[in-house]
Structure 1
């Protein structure tokens, strides 16, 4: 891959400081002094209109007067000067500008100047970081283009913050704890360069092993999510969010009224495989623990202590943090009964008595680590008569090295145990002054592990082998409403859309008179339900527009007239189409749930699930997830609600058909993917019992999508592109399928690589690997289809699916072009596979709007070069490596 296009910004070799100054207290003096003091190895050029020398270095009046190339201009002058400076930078060929000063963009004039500056930068292809930023630091390279006055240590964590004030607080806190950074990037207002592009750069940065994000708001959710998911696959990412409740989700349905923007942000971070924390202390602690490769397999914690009081307090903290106390196995209890004092607690927390020796501590902790019911151990040491804090600490360090499960160590006290704490720090063990902090970290690790599982989920819009929906029929209903100038579909219309996506609905027929209602009721069969049919009324019960359990004609006529009368009194302006007639569904063992869709301004559609009926507003019981969904994500949503605990068998209640319930959520996910017009939706109540599910009421809100929106462009997470799945036939008649690669293809991908000849493996990977490493396997099968593509050619045989070949491309960070690779199994060479796969890859690249496809081919690989010629690639020698040939094709 070519160097990242933000390299001039984050790894410059030459820097011009526009506004560099010797004036004490000025930003220009602070920034230029920091660059000089940081031992930056590149070239520095001060730019000042009024002074010919700054800090002893000759200055120029304009960047255009610099006789050497300049990578980045750091601008610290007044707002009014920005347009002229940006023009000078463009004419000089500078490709990155850091606006390292605060601007009062609340003023109309300054906003206009900023907008003009942005327009000029785009004309010249200049990327801008800022404004309103603290600056930019690369401590590992001695580069400090900021006005921060204190020391920043080099390290392996990258800090990206949207707030300069919070950034300085983080840096001060980190310095007191001895934490260092590879990069410190203050984003500010993100006029141009945002989180997504910065994350893209940090993913490939070898100096960065973990990423800390402070986020206030997101401009480009798709880019943010794609970059965040890519980062989280290779490096721990920890996020702290400010302004959690500032941008409330607004709408007219229950689904929208029950959701807060902070909840949506949490759901997005969970799908991205990252960890969200609440405080600065948690941010750095979580980062240190994750960077030290601490991982947990679940949320079951054992507590070992030589003081029952601290043990019980730790157990209370675990309960408050929703950390499960592990239930020790019978084998573990039997072992401990044989070696611990008779008066030990015989449960969790494990009180091993106040005079516990180092050996007793080791025995108890080792037994817990070996127990399959335990995912982590909190060890609490209290200095008492007969104890040895230092030897016990040494034994715990040894145990941590032996076990893959994490140990959390809390040596209570101060001076008496200080030597043990120093020992833990040197050994990089997770230790805490109070066990409550350790339990918070364990909770975070468990959440991180769950989020990493969510990251692996890349469901398609049409999951599995379910029947395809009638998308055209659904769009026809929506188009009819749009033609009437309506955004709200009636219940009857909403159910038509649901039925088009195979969601069971209670049949709803429109009656414009009492006489028509009687005829429909006779056909349907009593008892029936009557509801007002009006596109202007969301909640029919609020206007007296519902009558239940009508059992005869006389009651029906009276109810019909009453509904019309009450509705006209309550809402005289509302359009009334008539009254709908529906069967009265009575199910003895039914549970009422709600499935909904709401719209977040940053992340787009969000699917909700929770308690339904009248309980929806009282219980506030709901879980939410960003679409697309699959079985794993649906099960996770249901499991995290209180109503989800009531769906199984209980006393006389049989379990509901959870497969049917899950299908409804999957079909709703299909709707969200395929209908960008769908803005909000409530299915409430959705009745679920042992017989299945049925939607008794529904309401959909629609909104015309942007005309320039690409397929699935309304979603923050790109779904599996199932429309690219095609069937084909090889030259020898073999039936094959070409389809995008999925995470579950990992084993098949590994077997494919193992079966390649040594020569083929070397030609593809330029090394003599026998199989893919775990990190490579993850990278090749867990794809973000918005920025990369891998198409596998497979065939069905007696042992299952076999991979015959795979072609892939990875887009350049600027999303203009891509680099491709092609692998064909040795025994399937010469059967037309390469031509078929590469043609499909061209189509995928064009769909993403890419302009050029590039690659490298070994000069001696005549077959591949012949194929490239046939496909219309230009072929030319590699400028640096004679063994390679460069090939490229305009798309």
Structure 2
């Protein structure tokens, strides 16, 4: 991921147009016309050999002749000339090229790929950036930049729009202008050879002129970059995405229900949710969501809505829409109803929500009613639906509503003034006051539901997961032995006992299963088990055994097993004569009263990597289609969210005389599967169906697994980088105590609160640059819930006598998207100064950042924190300037450290101590 030179793309000081032309309807003509018409203040330099001037502007024959190096170059020349043009621009000192030319429809995919690779190689020679090929350009209306070939310019606004489809960009521009919607930035990515979604999201997320980011996505390539950038941006501002191509998923070969059910659009859906984004499904909904999210001051507290209206019909319409869209109508408490009765004309006692004020209600009545509802604990948001009556005053009522909202800035308010001419000015007042306003009740409810969904996604982004109810230590050696043996024998579709062996190695309870080659052997195996018995065929050619009568249950005796096996073999041979029957599995018939049949599994998605599935199981799983998917890795909170997104979850919670099942056991099973996918990349598909789940736990009854020995290893396979357990180490402090130094985890939040509470006020001020009384959850979540792909934090942990972990120190490094610099922060518990722990932590983070090839480590230290300044200088940091009169900026050149310097940590600690003492 990189934002290098993206400021030159969106805010260039100068622009060159290579292939500029005076011929209408050419790329070079449109690019020059738009640049000149937009009023860009910097030099605009056409490059062409066909004319002395373009649109009255002096032209240059080639890039070498340009008087200054352009920040931004628009390439409109024939594709065959572009590689040399890119080389020439790079040598001239250009920063970014927007490649508008494309190879055309007649070229093959291979030819396009080779062309793009050549362009990229030429750009990389001079570290120049490329947008495209096939990009229609960028617009930054705030600085008068229209470096595009769009037929219409964008209006100025506070919303950024990013798309890879040029045709959609054109449609959005036309639609937005007609609705008076403006943009801060507007960009067509084209083929994303270099600059892609992740890069642009990173740039826009830190831009103060951008209030919200809108994305149109057809497909993704670098999902790790996209997810990292999206999660980072979504913590700061709304990111709203529309994904097209939902009906074009490729049908893949699958050996399990899981492989069939985990459709790619469902995976995109959960990926957007995991990144804290809001997904919408139409252009109207896209901008409706912006109306809500960009204007609302804070996410609603919850899903409970109160509706205020001056017409019962409109109120009922709003409630119907709310129920249809899955919303929750607030149940007004008796005290709220009494308070409303006191302010309504005639002291009317309300019986329900919506609150009908009648057509003649005055502005003062609206004000008093809203005051009551804003204070009601059972109400999370308020929607005011108004239709003009003969004696009503739409503008005056709107102004009163705005005044009340100003007094309750933390409240979530939505408005719907129905009509046109009579309410147009009132709507304009709401827009000016940044209160979401909509033309119909349906639109208003959709806007409210956008906020509810967005709040849920943000909550998931910040939620602190519980630790597993029981820790599990997988027997990775045993699992790898089974996997390697299957691959060596060519058994890429593993037998049921083989698959169960892998699941058992990861701590998942399985039914004892044995293989018999003949009906006679099946009877012998049954005699070693307790009956009754379940018998199944073993054939890698048959995916669903029950479809061919390959499953027989409740066999009472070994003789019954032998007879059933013989009949089963005859059925299979007559139905599928080409299918090789390898034998039978025999197992004790698992009976669990009150248990539910579930399905859990995983598949390797070609875009996002390992994806997990949970739902209602059994033979009718594809008919019921009650499933949820999630990206690996999982924790307890994410696993439970999977369960809650299915219909069967309500049954799992218990009903009537049915006990609730052990939810934690199901969640742990999903986490175990998630870890299995991380550890063993050869697994491309696996499934347990059914998984019996009851109050006493879970039991895997049937299992299957498919392997691909060509799968590459490493965490880059996952869209979200998992917890890097390989970075854990044990260190010894000066007092002889051994501590675990490991990456921080979201589950550390509670222990981190205790750690911060143990700091003296002075140490807390030195670390957090201010007095810390009570750190809110969202701020603590940012410290403990990190993205391991772009930042790292290590904690030193000591297990206390009561078995509870205690955090003694922490060090964090946040790296910029270009991996040029990382900013560190370190703190140890106040009573451990002089223990050497601070140096152990600093050396750990320095080594980590050096191995990532980060160039510099920066830090900001308060000037009166002299101990920290001496400490940093002893480690090689140098003062590079003052941030302000109170803060010193330090820098460490990581390239000056050799790997051998870290061979003996204790030697470095002693050397740093001596340097510090000399200072």
Same fold (TM over 0.5): yes
* 1:663 alignment partner, SS class: helix
* 1:524 alignment partner, SS class: coil
1:658-677 → structure 2 map (5 Å cutoff): 658-677=663-682
Alpha-carbon distance in 2 for matches of 1:803, 1:588:
44
Q: After superposition, give the CA deviation of every residue in 1:314-352 in whole Å (9 maximum; x if it has no partner).
A: 111112111121222222233334554577761122333
Q: 2:468·2:668 contact (CA, 8 Å) conserved in 1?
A: no
Q: Match for residue 792 of structure 2?
A: 789
Q: Does 1:741 align with 2:744?
A: yes
Alpha-carbon distance in 2 for matches of 1:842, 1:465:
34
Give 1:784 deviation, angstroms: 0.8
Q: 1:63·1:89 contact (CA, 8 Å) conserved in 2?
A: yes
From 883, 887, 891, the equivalent of 2:892 is 887
Q: 2:524·2:558 contact (CA, 8 Å) conserved in 1?
A: no
Q: 1:678·1:700 contact (CA, 8 Å) conserved in 2?
A: yes
1:399-478 → structure 2 map (5 Å cutoff): 399-403=404-408, 404-456=410-462, 466-478=471-483
Alpha-carbon distance in 1 for matches of 2:142, 2:76:
24
Q: After superposition, give the CA deviation of every residue in 1:419-474 in whole Å (9 maximum; x if it has no partner).
A: 322322222221111011010011111100111122235879x9575121112211
Q: Match for residue 333 of structure 1?
A: 337
Give 1:312 deviation, angstroms: 1.6
Q: After superposition, give the CA deviation of every residue in 1:818-870 in whole Å (9 maximum; x if it has no partner).
A: 443434455433321232112322443356x3253422576998865765676
Give 1:740 deviation, angstroms: 2.1
Decide which moves more: 673-682 or 494-503: 673-682
Alpha-carbon distance in 2 for matches of 1:838, 1:868:
9
Decide which moves more: 30-39 or 475-484: 30-39
Q: 1:623·1:640 contact (CA, 8 Å) conserved in 2?
A: yes
Change (3 A) 1:512 1:730: same
Change (3 A) 1:548 1:649: same
Q: Match for residue 180 of structure 1?
A: 182
Q: CA RMSD in A?
A: 3.1
Q: Does 1:381 align with 2:386?
A: yes
Q: Match for residue 533 of structure 1?
A: 538
Q: 1:261·1:600 contact (CA, 8 Å) conserved in 2?
A: yes
Q: Match for residue 286 of structure 1?
A: 289
Q: Match for residue 314 of structure 2?
A: 310
Change (3 A) 1:644 1:883: closer
Q: Does 1:40 align with 2:44?
A: no
Change (3 A) 1:587 1:877: closer
Q: Match for residue 190 of structure 1?
A: 192
Alpha-carbon distance in 1 for matches of 2:301, 2:245:
32
* 1:497 alignment partner, SS class: helix
Alpha-carbon distance in 2 for matches of 1:664, 1:877:
52
Alpha-carbon distance in 1 for matches of 2:669, 2:893:
46
Change (3 A) 1:483 1:222: same
Alpha-carbon distance in 2 for matches of 1:754, 1:156:
40
Q: Match for residue 120 of structure 1?
A: 122
* 1:398 alignment partner, SS class: helix
Alpha-carbon distance in 1 for matches of 2:364, 2:558:
84
Q: 2:856·2:891 contact (CA, 8 Å) conserved in 1?
A: no
Change (3 A) 1:54 1:826: farther
* 1:713 alignment partner, SS class: helix
Alpha-carbon distance in 1 for matches of 2:252, 2:392:
59
Give 1:749 deviation, angstroms: 5.6
Q: Match for residue 690 of structure 1?
A: 695
* 1:793 alignment partner, SS class: strand
Q: Match for residue 205 of structure 1?
A: 207
Alpha-carbon distance in 1 for matches of 2:735, 2:583:
64
1:122-137 → structure 2 map (5 Å cutoff): 122-137=124-139
Alpha-carbon distance in 1 for matches of 2:872, 2:112:
53
Alpha-carbon distance in 2 for matches of 1:161, 1:836:
46
Give 1:230 deviation, angstroms: 0.7
From 221, 224, 227, the equivalent of 1:222 is 224
Change (3 A) 1:802 1:216: same
Give 1:211 deviation, angstroms: 0.7
Q: Match for residue 485 of structure 1?
A: 490
Q: Does 1:70 align with 2:70?
A: yes
Give 1:152 deviation, angstroms: 2.0
* 2:813 alignment partner, SS class: strand
Q: Which runs of 5+ in 1 are unaligned?
A: none
Q: Which runs of 5+ in 2 are unaligned?
A: 900-919
Q: 1:79·1:110 contact (CA, 8 Å) conserved in 2?
A: no
Q: 1:18·1:73 contact (CA, 8 Å) conserved in 2?
A: yes
From 240, 243, 247, the equivalent of 2:242 is 240
Q: 2:516·2:522 contact (CA, 8 Å) conserved in 1?
A: yes
Change (3 A) 1:531 1:400: same
Change (3 A) 1:734 1:816: same
Alpha-carbon distance in 2 for matches of 1:727, 1:483:
37
Alpha-carbon distance in 1 for matches of 2:138, 2:361:
52
From 654, 673, 676, the equivalent of 1:649 is 654
Alpha-carbon distance in 1 for matches of 2:397, 2:230:
41
Alpha-carbon distance in 1 for matches of 2:113, 2:738:
61
Decide which moves more: 217-226 or 803-812: 803-812
Change (3 A) 1:110 1:584: closer
Give 1:754 deviation, angstroms: 7.8
Alpha-carbon distance in 2 for matches of 1:705, 1:370:
61
Give 1:405 deviation, angstroms: 2.8
Q: 2:2·2:818 contact (CA, 8 Å) conserved in 1?
A: no
Decide which moves more: 60-69 or 80-89: 60-69
Q: Match for residue 29 of structure 1?
A: 29
1:493-512 → structure 2 map (5 Å cutoff): 493-512=498-517
Give 1:874 deviation, angstroms: 7.3
Alpha-carbon distance in 2 for matches of 1:611, 1:382:
46
Decide which moves more: 76-85 or 723-732: 723-732
Q: Match for residue 726 of structure 1?
A: 729
Q: Does 1:699 align with 2:704?
A: yes
Q: Does 1:516 align with 2:521?
A: yes
1:101-116 → structure 2 map (5 Å cutoff): 101-104=101-104, 106-108=106-108, 112-116=114-118
TM-score by length of 1: 0.92
Q: After superposition, give the CA deviation of every residue in 1:375-421 in whole Å (9 maximum; x if it has no partner).
A: 21222123335533333222221222233231221122333333322
Q: After superposition, give the CA deviation of every residue in 1:745-795 in whole Å (9 maximum; x if it has no partner).
A: 567667767876787677767x66657798865544331101110112344
Q: Match for residue 324 of structure 1?
A: 328
Aligned residues: 885
* 2:181 alignment partner, SS class: coil
* 2:44 alignment partner, SS class: strand
From 269, 273, 281, the equivalent of 2:272 is 269
Q: After superposition, give the CA deviation of every residue in 1:23-60 in whole Å (9 maximum; x if it has no partner).
A: 33322122123223333333332211222333333322
Change (3 A) 1:324 1:11: same
Q: 2:132·2:189 contact (CA, 8 Å) conserved in 1?
A: yes
Alpha-carbon distance in 2 for matches of 1:11, 1:754:
45
Change (3 A) 1:379 1:585: same
Q: Match for residue 80 of structure 1?
A: 80
Decide which moves more: 154-163 or 383-392: 383-392
Alpha-carbon distance in 2 for matches of 1:878, 1:372:
51
Change (3 A) 1:557 1:327: same
Change (3 A) 1:105 1:755: farther
Alpha-carbon distance in 1 for matches of 2:444, 2:172:
21
* 2:523 alignment partner, SS class: helix
Q: Match for residue 556 of structure 2?
A: 551
Change (3 A) 1:53 1:810: same
Give 1:697 deviation, angstroms: 0.8
